[in-house]
Amino acid sequence: MDDKPQLFNTTRRQLLAGMGAVGLASAGAGLGTTAYFNDTESFEGNNLQAGEFDLKLDWQHTYHGAMNDDIYASAGRPYVSAFPDADGDGIRDEFLTRGELAAEMEDDETSQAVEDAYRAQFADVPNDFESPLIALDDVKPGDSGCLSLSMHLFDNPGHIWLGTENVSASENGQNEPEAEVDETPEGAGELAENMTARVWYDDGNCELDSGFEGETAEVVAVLDRSGSMDDDTGNPATSAKWNGAKDGVETLVDALAPNTPSVQFGLASYSSSATVDQALTTDPSDIDAALGTLTTGGSTNIESGLAAADGMFSGTADSEIIVVLTNGNETTGDAVGYAAGMKSDGKTIYTIAYGSNANAGTLSQISSGAAYSYLATELAAIEQVFAAIGQSISGEEVIVDGTMADVINALETGVHLDGNRVDEEDQCFVNSTTQYIAIDWEVPTTVGNEIQTDSLEFDLSLVAEQCRHNDAPENPFAPESTPTPTPTPTDTGNTTATDTGN
């Protein structure tokens, strides 16, 4: 099977029509970038292993230009394109959880029909298109934009690379203002060198967050210890679900610990009622010790957990943050109402729907917004989710930044993305979790006529390969070396197959 990435069959005219025209100013320039995505399966020794593998995406693309027309007249960052976007307003739709879909379909949550409906909400690229395209024409100094991509791996964990390909830049001749300041009428032009750009691990809001507000923060993890956290063993000591949740809290603390003493962390837990298990501290071993004392049993009273955490704050920190986890439905109390009061008092609430039975809809209402509501359907995903929240609180990690030329050059050889930035080594992305990356760009207002008529195009590519039996995968963006001729053709190396998403 051909393993070459598939390009979208979309013309530039269609791209520009899809996002609207941007007017020409005294120092205008053209920028067109397209994106394609290819997920592949990789197998060692040409031995096909059982299992499936699929990478799906959703995204939000915004553009900020000071134009006086119907598209760009509003202040802030107007919405350009998104997926899913059923009403075509350019704003990314909130997707339904498996539980919400099951209720609508009157079907069992674990049925194949529900799973198919859940996955169908995301883009199966490059087969689903219109794509998450950045396609701008005649941008001018002061213009900027951002694309946030949400990555969903299904069925198996995977390595994910981000790269650029098919870079094309041109001077496109010179008009009179440009000729006065630019002595290079031919060549690649100066646009890429005169734009700033950056790529980072995002939380879905397309803003590079520097971390908590102010100089000090207090963070309380609120852990569900109801009876359903025992799996089916009835024994917390052997419960993968329960032990995974505790490991996740430890990962959160590890992510926050480098920020001490500016950050203090504590632990509360709940079942039928809540307990304060560790007061605010700067010592991670205190949290570890407290986790070791917890046992499971009882019903699910999320409100009591929120109230316990609320009472732990000193009232002197600049930021007060709660990270609450549950694997089920609230059986007593009014967590949504209580959370509303906490948020109105300035507290920030992250939520984690842990496992397929958690009520993600309720948790999204408890949270401080879409960027604060996480899913961990598979137990293996919980540590990556806690790590992502820890990074969001501490400050999001930049992958590459500089000029657009710097970013393109860095990505041309591919960047192996890290599923868990708390661990020292790069980690695979766990299946059935959601993680974000974002890229933004800006043409500084100080840029002059040297970029008039210049253009820049490139393909932004995500490539995924299965982790299983693939500990040291080859970089799909590495330059191909010329093979050494052999007298008899011999099949060596790995076999790759383009995943059609079927």
Residue 123's DSSP bridge partners are 57
Sequence-ordered list of residues with C-beta below 8 angstroms from that of 47, at least 6 positions apart, any chain: none
**pLDDT score recorded for residue 68:** 41
- β-bridge pairing 217-224 and 319-326: parallel
**pLDDT score recorded for residue 430:** 82
| Residue that the structure tokens 């994106």 belong to | 35
Q: How many other β-carbons are positioned within 10 Å of the β-carbon of residue 84? A: 16
Taking the alpha carbons of 340, 342, 347, 351 in that order, is the dihedral positive or negative?
A: negative
Which uninterrupted H or E stretch holds 302?
Answer: helix 302-310
CA distances from 272 to 323, 332, 366, 369 (A): 19, 8, 18, 26
pLDDT, mean of residues 160-177: 69
Domains and CATH numbers, the chain: 12-84+122-208+397-498 (no CATH), 217-394 (3.40.50.410)
| Residue that the structure tokens 């994910």 belong to | 160
Q: How many other β-carbons are positioned within 10 Å of the β-carbon of residue 240? A: 12
For the record, the structure tokens of 464 come out as 């995924």
Lowest mean pLDDT among 98-112, 126-140, 242-256, 473-487: 126-140
Angle at 120 between CA 114 and CA 122, to 5 degrees: 130
pLDDT, mean of residues 336-348: 96
**pLDDT score recorded for residue 41:** 37
Please give the Cα distance from 409 to 406 (Å, whole number): 5
**pLDDT score recorded for residue 311:** 97
**pLDDT score recorded for residue 212:** 87
Looking at every residue in the chain, the average pLDDT score rounds to 75
* DSSP one-letter code for 194: G
**pLDDT score recorded for residue 500:** 28
Please give the Cα distance from 183 to 181 (Å, whole number): 7
pLDDT band of residue 304 (cuts 50, 70, 90) is very high
Enter the pTM of the model: 0.72
Sequence-ordered list of residues with C-beta below 8 angstroms from that of 285, at least 6 positions apart, any chain: none
In order, the DSSP letters of 325-337 are EESS---SS-HHH
Please give the Cα distance from 462 to 473 (Å, whole number): 15
Please give the Cα distance from 463 to 460 (Å, whole number): 10
pLDDT, mean of residues 303-324: 96
pLDDT band of residue 102 (cuts 50, 70, 90) is confident
pLDDT band of residue 403 (cuts 50, 70, 90) is very high
CA distances from 197 to 83, 261, 399, 440 (A): 23, 33, 11, 6
Chain centroid to CA 157: how far? 16
Taking the alpha carbons of 201, 501, 466, 94 in that order, is the dihedral positive or negative?
A: positive
Please give the Cα distance from 76 to 323 (Å, whole number): 30
Beta carbons of 442 and 192 less than 8 angstroms apart: no
For the ranges 119-133, 273-287, 363-377, the one whose mean pLDDT is highest: 273-287
User: For residue range 2-22, what is the model confidence (pLDDT) as tens digits?
Assistant: 333 322 222 222 222 222 222
Q: For the chain, give the percent of residues with pLDDT over 90.
A: 28
Residue 127's DSSP bridge partners are none
Please give the Cα distance from 347 to 360 (Å, whole number): 20
Q: How many other β-carbons are positioned within 10 Å of the β-carbon of residue 341? A: 11
Reported for 116-123, long-range contacts at CB under 8 A and 24+ positions apart, including other chains, are 119/54, 119/56, 119/152, 119/154, 121/58, 121/84, 121/95, 121/96, 122/56, 122/57, 122/58, 122/83, 122/84, 122/95, 122/150, 122/152, 123/56, 123/57, 123/58, 123/59, 123/83, 123/84
Query: Letter for the amino acid at 329?
Result: N
pLDDT band of residue 231 (cuts 50, 70, 90) is low
For the record, the structure tokens of 189 come out as 């032009």
